[in-house]
A = this chain, B = another copy of it.
Amino acid sequence: MEKNVIVGQSGGPTAAINSSLAGVYRTAKDRGAKKVFGMLHGIQGLLEERYIDLADHIKTELDAELLKRTPAAFLGSCRFKLPEIHEDREVYEKIFSILDKLEIEAFIYIGGNDSMDTIKKLSDYAIITGHPTRFVGCPKTIDNDLALTDHTPGYGSAAKYIGTSMKEIIRDSFCLEYNKGLVTIVEIMGRNAGWLTGAAALSKGEDCEGPDLIYLPELSFDIRKFGEKVQKLLGKKPSVVVAISEGIRTEEGKYVCELGNSVDFVDAFGHKQLSGTAAYLANYIAGELGCKTRAIELSTLQRSASHAASRVDILEAYQVGGAAVKAADEGDSGKMVVLQRLSDDPYQCGTEVKDVHKIANDEKLVPREWVNKEGTYVTNEFISYVRPLIQGDVSPVMVDGIPRHLYRPIELVRR
């Protein structure tokens, strides 16, 4: 490398997205990049010429270690899909003029499906216009739904958090005895893909029963059958714990949380918020069975729990960041780094580079054969798949009793 690199983060944050950023920075510097810029709030921020020089923030190796232990997107993120090139050339001309001004040799984008779409479009435009900048994508998402990669950075830590929290929730649920029993419904992220919800099964072991039922969004949800199963379980045990995806839908395709008539679950723009699935089901069960219920939404905690991150996840996220820069430096463009599982036992994983045209917009769902026949639990194959991804810890750097993060003062913006 001779000139500069620019990197951005896009889509929902994870506990590993900053580890990828640290990997990009390290490898870019090692390979001779003069400056490494970070676009603030992804491509949307870049269009407004909002960026920082990462050398002003990652000043020492300790800073890099803190960055790996910092949740959420250090550079800020965005949900922004570029228009098709023929629809709006001006946007592309603007982006490329900024890249020229900053002398960008390599553009690295850390994100999910929409981000790979951005890489695709920008690299296509570079080809059309004969522009030398290389565009490489770095995978990221807690949902684990990116095609062509064995798994995505961010998933392992979220899965570890879910397994750990489910275990604590289950232990807590057996403390007090209720006349008609207790049913706890735990709502987990994953609108379409059940990779996260299935991770609830990680709580099961020699020292924990695990959840009683797990409902993934890939299969249609029958609320009546659900009620019957819960009733049957309550006949045998004082506490029943159920893990559900926020995105479970009825046979007719309606989100379960939309079945409630409460206006509490529609936001000011009329957007249906998927929150409230657990609350709705808890209320349904309480009404049907007369038992005590509890609804727990893991919410953003499951994607920002750096204090409980998986070492395998953080290391792999760092590696894919570096691999993206390496690929760009070696001339690759319009590519995404993927993780390739080389073996299971022992677990070994390497990176590869794939054509981003093959990936974008293709969602990887949990295969039907990794869910049991009744659709109420995941199989041992699922658990074996995810188990290696949650191994090892990343001890937080504690300051005064609370984990330390790498901090970038937020612009206070007047609206």
A412 at the interface (CB under 8 A from B): yes
A405: which of B167, B260, B295 is its contact (CB, 8 Å)? Answer: B167
Contact A392 B402 (CB under 8 A): no
A372 at the interface (CB under 8 A from B): no
User: In the complex the two chains form, what is the Cα distance from A260 to B260 in whole Å?
Assistant: 15
CB contacts under 8 Å to B, within A289-306, are 289-297, 299-301, 303-306
CB contacts under 8 Å to B, within A353-393, are 387, 390-393
User: In the complex the two chains form, what is the Cα distance from A262 to B265 in whole Å?
Assistant: 11
Contacts of A76 in B (CB 8 A): 174-177
Contact B402 A203 (CB under 8 A): yes
Contact residues of A with B, CB < 8 Å?
12-13, 41, 44, 70-73, 76-79, 160, 163-165, 167-169, 171-177, 180-181, 202-203, 205-209, 234-239, 260, 262-264, 267-269, 275-276, 279-280, 283, 286-287, 289-297, 299-301, 303-308, 310, 387, 390-393, 395, 398-407, 410, 412-415
Contacts of A239 in B (CB 8 A): 410
- Beyond A207-B405, A262-B263, A264-B279, 5 extra complex contacts between A and B, CB < 8 Å: A71-B171, A203-B402, A207-B404, A236-B412, A308-B308
Contact B78 A176 (CB under 8 A): yes
Contacts of A263 in B (CB 8 A): 262, 283
User: In the complex the two chains form, what is the Cα distance from A412 to B177 in whole Å?
Assistant: 12
Contact B168 A305 (CB under 8 A): yes
**Minimum Cβ distance to chain B for residue A114 (Å):** 13
Contact A308 B310 (CB under 8 A): no
Contact A267 B293 (CB under 8 A): yes
Contacts of A301 in B (CB 8 A): 165, 168-169, 296, 301
A168: which of B72, B292, B391 is its contact (CB, 8 Å)? Answer: B72
A400-B237 contact, Cβ under 8 Å, with A175-B13, A180-B415, A286-B267: no
**Minimum Cβ distance to chain B for residue A48 (Å):** 10
User: In the complex the two chains form, what is the Cα distance from A65 to B370 in whole Å?
Assistant: 36
Contacts of A290 in B (CB 8 A): 268-269
Contacts of A206 in B (CB 8 A): 407
Q: Which 7 A-B pairs have the closest CB atoms?
A: A207-B407, A390-B401, A72-B171, A168-B304, A172-B304, A268-B286, A72-B172
Contact A168 B238 (CB under 8 A): no
**Minimum Cβ distance to chain B for residue A210 (Å):** 11
A310: which of B73, B205, B401 is its contact (CB, 8 Å)? Answer: B401
**Minimum Cβ distance to chain B for residue A179 (Å):** 8
Contact B402 A205 (CB under 8 A): yes
Contact A172 B13 (CB under 8 A): yes
**Minimum Cβ distance to chain B for residue A280 (Å):** 8
User: In the complex the two chains form, what is the Cα distance from A73 to B172 in whole Å?
Assistant: 7
Contact A171 B207 (CB under 8 A): no
Task: Show 15 A/B contacts (Cβ-Cβ < 8 Å), sorted by A.
Answer: A72-B171, A72-B174, A160-B402, A168-B301, A173-B300, A203-B402, A205-B399, A205-B400, A262-B264, A264-B279, A268-B287, A268-B291, A296-B301, A308-B308, A310-B401
Contacts of A202 in B (CB 8 A): 401-402
Contact A295 B275 (CB under 8 A): yes
Contact B294 A296 (CB under 8 A): no
Contacts of A279 in B (CB 8 A): 264, 276, 279
Contacts of A304 in B (CB 8 A): 168-169, 171-172
Residue of B nearest to A299 (CB): B296
A172: which of B169, B207, B303 is its contact (CB, 8 Å)? Answer: B303
User: In the complex the two chains form, what is the Cα distance from A299 to B165 in whole Å?
Assistant: 11
Contact B303 A299 (CB under 8 A): no
User: In the complex the two chains form, what is the Cα distance from A283 to B273 in whole Å?
Assistant: 11
Contact A70 B171 (CB under 8 A): yes
